[in-house]
Amino acid sequence: MSVEYTRLDSGLSVVTESMAHLESVALGVWIKSGSRDEQSGEHGIAHLLEHMAFKGTHRRTARQIAEEIENVGGEVNAATSVETTSYYARILRDDVPLAVDMLADILTNSVLDETELTREKHVILQEIGAAMDTPDDVVFDKFSATAFRDQTIGRPILGTPDTVQSFTPEQIRHYLQRNYTADKMIIVAAGAIEHDALVRLVEERFKDVPATSDDAAAPTAASYTGGDYREKRDLMDVQLLIGFEGRAYHARDFYASQILANVLGGGMSSRLFQEVREHRGLCYSVYAMHWGFSDTGIFGVHAATGQEDIPELVPVILEELRKVADYVDPSEIERARAQFRAGLLMAHESPAARASQIARQMLLYGRPIPNEELMDRLANITPQRLTDLSGRLFFNTPVTLSAVGPLDKLLPIADITADLAGNQPRQAAAG
Amino acid sequence: MSVEYTRLDSGLSVVTESMAHLESVALGVWIKSGSRDEQSGEHGIAHLLEHMAFKGTHRRTARQIAEEIENVGGEVNAATSVETTSYYARILRDDVPLAVDMLADILTNSVLDETELTREKHVILQEIGAAMDTPDDVVFDKFSATAFRDQTIGRPILGTPDTVQSFTPEQIRHYLQRNYTADKMIIVAAGAIEHDALVRLVEERFKDVPATSDDAAAPTAASYTGGDYREKRDLMDVQLLIGFEGRAYHARDFYASQILANVLGGGMSSRLFQEVREHRGLCYSVYAMHWGFSDTGIFGVHAATGQEDIPELVPVILEELRKVADYVDPSEIERARAQFRAGLLMAHESPAARASQIARQMLLYGRPIPNEELMDRLANITPQRLTDLSGRLFFNTPVTLSAVGPLDKLLPIADITADLAGNQPRQAAAG
């Protein structure tokens, strides 16, 4: 691998992958904090700060931020998630110094002007409104909130209209000072980039980032609760998520859980796609997903269908959960592994995908992970291990259900729980 | 450019771009027909055929289609649009023969089984339901239908539940025979690909594609009508599209219209983003777009906001239309050009983006277009040309409005039309 990694004295990490023959660069700052790091009275502040970063620094107005990067054909963007916030530029080779200067400026030198804040809160209210109008967004938000009841890890990243409107510049600054510190910050670039030159730029431009914060505190450990959320809406389709607690990034079963999600509902050849869509024609969209967090995870099945098909759909999904806990074919694991391997190779061919991949590895494991090592992690996943894992995932913790739409024909949660309990395969019952 | 182009005796075109140092390939078949080529009684059949292609051939079941490609870590997908249908694989270098064989099989050898058809119709009903539940999808569908009243170009690609349910295998086969012919078909690959080897594979596998069809007929010429569509829904946000007739791909003003859309609402530095979001905080999402078709186009402004902000938002959008017809700064054109140029360079670094780009050029212009020639097309775009074009686009044809959500505070269409007419700048009034 051509990955190079430098840890500055401040604790800030700089990682690059030089990709020969490219003209462009994907360059970003990943911060190991997100909505989960919000404290009492801060719900939505991580995302609000991400917006405010673009609203002006002591050197640039909001318009200058936008114009300087777009003048050279580049673009900047940012995203807030549960455990991570990222600021990201896509530029041509010669514009790396501009991008580094700009990212440093918006992350260390933000004005957090009161008038701009008032306007930006209003923008976020519209963003919240649009999310609430999109059933597919709502069902995921409510799923998280139900799986992790009354915890920062489960609540909506956007905040609520009330919390968003409550924040002062001082509160935002406090969140920033606590979280945007060098020990939590990783700068990654992939593409037409020269490592040493980037390190020098970062050393100079990011020198004002404090090394750490005395106020920083690890978020409260997550406690999966499970539960039942149903919201009746006058829609054509029911949006449905059925899930369970998944596995943390560092857990022994993390990669096995990823492979299991792929076997169950990862592609067109997956069990759910074949059974639910191809054989029964019940859904347009049906898939399984597994998300890891630092101390827990989510394993879920998403489907959307008209209410008349719900009585057939739900038992079929539960049956597929039972079946995968009974038997997994070696060819299914082989296929999932081939997809994982191809995904790794293709990520190496895209600056944006490669930068995200490296950043993720740095955030989770503290170092870039060679492809061979990643493939090794999949080497000892056997059918037996996946059936065992399925038993533990689906039949040993309470189910989480989230549903939005015309719900009259959706089974009561007690029936779903009883179905799962009654149908569990032998090995799960024994374990 | 390393683009190579071969036209087979059948009329089928094969175009490749070999991208050094890659391990993967993006390979697809683009067909110059789409929902607009549907005849009377065929509404939705182009999209239904695209689904049925994956439901089994005389050599492969639906499951085999999915498994063969996913076993090697590849993926296949397909898309139907107004004037194009595409089938597309992303694979590693060694799997090109498999991908070509598979794409040929599903496009020339489909069973169109009656039972599979019944099931797949049901899948599409769910797809229609999900689209109708997504306000952002509805507002675009209704915009097209209103801009081009009672024409195939404007109607929903998915069809309606009634039309989808009406189709027989014979009708689908008739659409296929009329449209999936070599003269309308382009095979493009970018990445780790060898041109001559691909040509040989295509010659062999696609030999059963008929050269042309006697039944083929060019779609009826589009006639932009404009109009007013309003659908009250109990939502948090109003979804709003305001637009006009745009320019066809071949039209002299096509590229100028693209640049104009960029200046008005293409990025964070665009006028609409700066005025509507940054200065006023009225919207989370606001942008302008220009879509070309073979004989017409669409120029539109999309925004979403809460109903209490609608009375401020609509006049501001109309004012920005007037302003851009009054004055464009040379720096705005420079910025749009820089973005266009960077986009071209970055597309050259992604197999998927590059394959789509080449396919698009083949469909529209009949040959791959070098970057320098594309940049040349932007060379003579002046401020004067954009202000003139704005006058003709916004003040000389009827407006199209599409709105979904809480609409009580949305101006009547007559007021919007009067505002546009009354506020038109001098040069437009004179022209």
Longest dimension (CA), chain B: 66
Q: What single string gives the DSSP state of each residue in A227-246?
A: EEEEEE---SEEEEEEEEEE
Residues of A in contact with B56 (CB under 8 A): none
Examine the predicted complex and report whether its ipTM is higher than 0.85. Answer: yes
User: Which pLDDT value is given to residue B36?
Assistant: 96
User: How close does chain A come to B225, measured CA to CA in Å?
Assistant: 30
d(CA A174, CA B152) in angstroms, rounded, equals 56
State chain A's mean pLDDT as an integer. 95
**Number of other CB atoms surrounding residue A254 within 10 Å:** 18
From residue A311, alpha-carbon distances to A286, A305, A315, A409 in Å are 16, 11, 7, 6
End-to-end CA distance of chain B: 42
CA distance B333 to chain A (A): 10
pLDDT in tens, A385-430: 999 999 999 998 899 999 999 999 999 999 999 988 876 554 444 4
Give B30→chain A minimum CA distance, Å. 21
User: Is A22 close to B349, i.e. CB distance below 8 A?
Assistant: yes
Furthest CA-CA distance within chain A: 66
Instruction: Give the DSSP letter of residue B222.
Output: P
Identify the helix (H) or strand (E) that includes residue B363. Answer: helix B351-365
Catalytic residue among B50, B68, B120, B245: B50
Decide if B306 touches A, using CB distance below 8 A.
Answer: yes
Can you tell me which residue has the tokens 């007559």?
Answer: B414
Q: Where are the beta strands (DSSP E) in A19-123?
A: 24-31, 75-80, 85-92
pLDDT at res. A424: 59
User: Which class for B37: exposed (0-12), middle (13-18), buried (19 or more C-beta within 10 A)?
Assistant: buried
Rounded Cα–Cα distance for residues A73 and A62 (Å): 17
**Residues of A marked as catalytic:** 50
Which residues of chain A have a CB within 8 Å of the CB of B74? 342
Q: Which site among A60, A127, A346 would you substitute to test the B interface, given the most B Cβ atoms closer than 10 Å to its Cβ?
A: A346
Per residue, the 3-state secondary structure of A108-122, as one string, reads: HCECCCHHHHHHHHH
**Residue A310: closest C-alpha in chain B:** B126
In the stretch 395-414 of chain A, residues with CB closer than 8 A to chain B read 405
Q: Which residues of B touch A236 (CB under 8 A)?
A: 128-130, 132-133
* Residue A287 β-bridge partners: A302
pTM: 0.95
The single residue listed with the structure tokens 């993967």 is B24
**C-alpha count within 13 angstroms, C-beta hemisphere, residue A39:** 11
At B396 the pLDDT is 87
Instruction: Tell me if B70 and A339 make a contact (CB, 8 A cut-off).
Output: yes
Alpha-carbon span B58 to B282, nearest angstrom: 56
d(CA A258, CA B252) in angstroms, rounded, equals: 51
Q: Does A350 touch chain B (CB under 8 A)?
A: yes
Residue whose C-alpha is closest to residue A294's, from A143, A84, A30: A84
Q: Using one digit for the tens of pLDDT, what is the confidence trace for B58-82?
A: 999 999 999 999 999 999 999 999 9
Assess contact for B374 and B259: CB atoms under 8 A.
Answer: no
Supply the pLDDT for residue B423.
64
pLDDT digits (tens, 9 = 90+) for B104-142: 999 999 999 999 999 999 999 999 999 999 999 999 999
Q: Among A2, A17, A160, A284, which would you mutate to test the B interface (most chain B Cβ atoms within 10 Å of its Cβ)?
A: A284
Cβ B290 vs Cβ B298: under 8 Å: yes
Residue A30 phi, psi dihedral angles, 5° rounding: -110, 130
Chain A interface test: which of B96, B122, B193 (most A C-beta within 10 Å): B122
Q: What are the residues facing A24 on neighbouring strands? A: A92
Q: DSSP class of residue B269? A: T
- What's the pLDDT at A431? 36
Question: B278 Cβ partners below 8 Å, 6+ apart?
Answer: A55, A62, A63, A66, A119
Cα(B314)–Cα(B403) distance, integer angstroms: 12
**CB-CB contact of A288 with A390 (8 Å):** no
How many helices (H) and strands (E) are present in chain A, helices listed first?
17, 11
pLDDT at B219: 87
**B391: Cβ–Cβ under 8 A, 6 or more apart, which residues?**
B325, B424, B425, B427, B428, B431
**Interface subset of B 92-151, CB within 8 angstroms of A:** 92, 118-130, 132-136
- 27-46 in A: which are within 8 Å (CB) of B? none
List the single best residue of B64, B133, B238 to mutate versus A (max A Cβ within 10 A): B133
For residue B338, give the amino acid letter.
A
Q: What pLDDT does B2 receive?
A: 87
| Residues A164, A358: Cα–Cα separation, whole Å | 32
Name residue B227's beta-bridge partners.
Answer: B400
Query: What are the chain B neighbours of A334 within 8 Å (beta carbons)?
Result: 71
Search chain B and give the residue with CA nearest A345: B23
C-alpha count within 13 angstroms, C-beta hemisphere, residue A208: 11
Q: Which helix (H) or strand (E) holds A419?
A: helix A413-422
User: Shortest CA distance to B403 belongs to which of B263, B277, B241?
Assistant: B241
Picking from A236, A274, A349, the nearest residue to B63 by CB comes out as: A274
Chain B hits for A309, Cβ within 8 Å: 126
pLDDT-based confidence at B429, cuts 50/70/90? very low
Q: Is a pLDDT exceeding 60 seen at residue B209?
A: yes
In degrees, to the nearest 5, what angle opens at C-alpha A337 toward C-alphas A331 and A342?
Answer: 125
- Any B CB within 8 A of A277 CB: yes
**Of residues A218, A158, A156, the one with CA closest to residue A184:** A218
Taking only residues 152 to 181 of chain B, the set having a beta carbon closer than 8 angstroms to any beta carbon of chain A reads: none
pLDDT in tens, chain A (431 residues): 589 999 999 999 999 999 988 999 999 999 999 999 999 999 999 999 999 999 999 999 999 999 999 999 999 999 999 999 999 999 999 999 999 999 999 999 999 999 999 999 999 999 999 999 999 999 999 999 999 999 999 999 999 999 999 999 999 999 999 999 999 999 999 999 999 999 999 999 999 999 999 887 888 899 999 999 999 999 999 999 999 999 999 999 999 999 999 999 999 999 999 999 999 999 999 999 999 999 999 999 999 999 999 999 999 999 999 999 999 999 999 999 999 999 999 999 999 999 999 999 999 999 999 999 999 999 999 999 999 999 999 998 899 999 999 999 999 999 999 988 876 554 444 43
pLDDT score of B418 more than 60: yes
Q: What is the pLDDT of residue B428?
A: 44
Q: Calculate the CA B382 to chain-centre distance.
A: 27
Contact criterion met (CB < 8 Å) for A351 and B351? no
- Sequence-distant (≥ 6) Cβ neighbours of residue B95 within 8 angstroms: B25, B69, B72, B74
Residue A396 is predicted with a pLDDT of 87
